[in-house]
Amino acid sequence: MNFTPVFGWFYLDSETRTASWTGVEFFYNFITSNSGTGPFAVEVGENMIDIGDVVQLSNRDGDWYHTLFVTDVSPTDGILIAAHSDDALDRPLASYNYASARFLHIVGVRFNLEFESGGCFDALINGERIEP
């Protein structure tokens, strides 16, 4: 976890968490600028979205109010999402009422490994084949 206040990536309980877990703009700022521990993403066009990516919705005033996770991209149903506010799973994005959307492609995640040097992890980290 990244314990940087406000802009980090941690959730221990409802009282001990970063704003990135609950605030749409905080999440966007974290995920698109994170160069430390945790996930990172880039904003892409709707046609570049994939399973596991993120969609954020805004209203007519330009306020970003909801973060959704992509569960599928279907040629017949379009982008399907999961969300906790309305307990949605595989709900079509088209069924939401919103003024605009932004699409965040999750590129990867950074993490720190702590291990003793000299074991099989050295080979894995270096991309070497592990012989039985």
Q: What is the DSSP letter of 37?
A: S
Q: What confidence score (pLDDT) does residue 45 get?
A: 97
How many other C-beta atoms lie within 10 A of the C-beta of residue 26? 15
How many other C-beta atoms lie within 10 A of the C-beta of residue 47? 7
Average pLDDT, the chain: 86
Confidence bin at 20 (pLDDT 50/70/90): confident
> Which helix (H) or strand (E) is 67 found in, with range?
strand 64-74
Largest CA distance in the chain: 61
Please state the pTM of the whole predicted model.
0.79
Task: Give dist(CA 125, CA 33) in Å, integer.
Answer: 25
pLDDT per residue as tens digits for the range 41-98? 999 999 999 999 999 999 999 999 999 999 999 999 999 999 887 788 999 999 999 9
Confidence bin at 12 (pLDDT 50/70/90): confident
Determine the residue type at 34. N
Asked if 121 contacts 130 with a C-beta cutoff of 8 angstroms, the reply is: no
Q: What confidence score (pLDDT) does residue 9 get?
A: 75
